[in-house]
Structure 1
Amino acid sequence: MIGCLIVHGFVGAPDETAEIENHLRDKNWLVYCPELPGHDGTKDGLKSVSYKHWVYKAEVAMKELLSRCEKVYVIGFSMGGVIASFLAAKYPVEKLVLISSAVYYLNMKQLMQDMKGWLIESIRGDLAEDDIFQFYKAKIQRLPMAATLEFVKMVKRLRPHVNQITAPTLVIQGKNDGLVPEKSAEYIYDHIQSKEKELYFFPEAKHYIWFGEEKDELLEMIDGFFH
């Protein structure tokens, strides 16, 4: 049996990667995206945990899949890409896919463009209908400063593990990602030791690539890499 571990992003939840998870389940794989500690949709939840809790939960899931499956693929999104990189450096991962992975974070130029667009929408009275803005707004409202500091600490501690990755790796990034800069994907691609590695930028995509028109292409790309 093939297993696939999906690690979701910061202040996220498994349902954010459901499009990918459901697509892979159709292959009759054992697919698991654990809810990282504190990521229960409340501000208080994130106040009570450290980044070590997030990594530990992912490691437990990794070990469980390895015990039950002949091969284990790993997909990491955003912060989950940092954790997935750590797992791939430590465990026998068959193949690794990193999507919008935040080994570096905040693309200020793109973020300012996004904010300018939201300001214009606000003036027009259209902001309430902007699903992406409302999505990010909900995230920020439940984000305590302590959790942000844990995220920063985790990235600093785990980034060096990228240099130890030898598994075949697909690195995917959106050109219009305001949360993760292009240099993050480039850093991963340049530093992993994998003999088989690919880097692809979706020219129009933002952080959540599968929320846009590129969803089908993204899923096809993952399929092609895993086979």
Structure 2
Amino acid sequence: MIGCLCIHGFTGAPYEVEPLVEYLKERTDWIFSVPTLPGHGESGSLKGIHFDEWIHHAEEELKSLIEVCDTVYVIGFSMGGMIASFLAAQYRVDKLVLLSAAAFYVNPKQLAADIFSALKDSVNGNLQKNELFQRYKRKITETPLAATLQFRRLVSFIKPMLHQVQTPTLIAQGECDGIVPPKSAEYLFQTIGANQKKLTYIKQSKHHICHCEEKEALFSQVLDFLMEQ
């Protein structure tokens, strides 16, 4: 039996990885775990949450899969990619997939381009329809500063462990990502200790890589990577 743990990002929820999960469910008979990290989701509040709680929650989900599955894969998006890397360094994980994983945060050049696009929509009266602007707005206005500091502490805590990851790893990064810059994927590729690792770029993708126009091609790569012997 194969189990697959899929971890969403900071301030996000399972919807961030759901398109990929549905794609894999349609083509496999695997067991999937797609948890909502503490303080996240529609009704969650990040106030007072420590980064250890995010890691511990993911750990417990992984342990549950390990108990019933012979093979376990872990997929992580953004902050979830860093948590996934930690799990691969500490537990028996057979394959690891990192999507827009946040070893570094904010791509100033792309973020400026996204803001300019939002300003153009504002002039044209279409700002409320600009999905990217609405996501940035929610992150800025609804995220406590203390929670952002916890996110940064999580990244700083996990980075020194990346060289311990010996699990075969696929790293996917959007070239138009304004949140996580391409250097994050390059850093992960260079730092992760696994001998078997692959870095792929999705040309037109912004941060939410599982929702980009090229998602089918990405999902196909992920499935091929997980299925290959």
- Partner residue, 2:98: 98
- Partner residue, 2:30: 29
Q: Does 1:199 align with 2:215?
A: no
- 1:50 CA displacement: 0.5
SS at match of 2:46: helix
SS at match of 2:80: helix
Distance (Å, rounded) in 1 between the aligned partners of 2:212 and 2:195: 31
SS at match of 2:60: helix
> Within 5 Å, which residues of 2 pair with 1:1-227?
1-26=1-26, 27-42=28-43, 45-227=45-227
Distance (Å, rounded) in 2 between the aligned partners of 1:139 and 1:22: 26
- 1:138 CA displacement: 2.8
The superposition leaves residues 67-119 of structure 1 with CA deviations (integer Å, 9 ceiling, x where unpaired) of 01010000010000000000000011100000000011110111011101111
SS at match of 1:49: coil
**In 2, are the aligned partners of 1:42 and 1:142 still within 8 Å (CA)?**
no
- With 135-144 and 53-62 compared, the bigger mean Cα shift is at 135-144
1:166 partner letter: Q
SS at match of 2:92: coil
- 1:28 CA displacement: 1.6
**In 2, are the aligned partners of 1:11 and 1:41 still within 8 Å (CA)?**
no
The superposition leaves residues 186-209 of structure 1 with CA deviations (integer Å, 9 ceiling, x where unpaired) of 011001121111001111111112
**In 2, are the aligned partners of 1:5 and 1:33 still within 8 Å (CA)?**
yes
**In 1, are the aligned partners of 2:81 and 2:98 still within 8 Å (CA)?**
yes
- With 81-90 and 202-211 compared, the bigger mean Cα shift is at 202-211
Q: RMSD across aligned C-alpha pairs, in angstroms?
A: 1.2
SS at match of 1:200: strand
- 1:16 CA displacement: 2.1
**In 2, are the aligned partners of 1:100 and 1:174 still within 8 Å (CA)?**
yes
Distance (Å, rounded) in 1 between the aligned partners of 2:143 and 2:89: 29
- 1:219 CA displacement: 0.7
The superposition leaves residues 144-169 of structure 1 with CA deviations (integer Å, 9 ceiling, x where unpaired) of 11100100111111111111111100
- 1:42 CA displacement: 4.7
Identity %: 45
Distance (Å, rounded) in 1 between the aligned partners of 2:140 and 2:96: 29
- 1:21 CA displacement: 1.4
1:88 partner letter: A
SS at match of 1:47: coil
1:66 partner letter: I
| Count of aligned pairs | 226
SS at match of 2:72: strand
- With 61-70 and 207-216 compared, the bigger mean Cα shift is at 207-216
Please, which runs of 5 or more residues in structure 2 have no aligned partner? none
SS at match of 1:103: coil
TM superposition score normalised by structure 1: 0.96
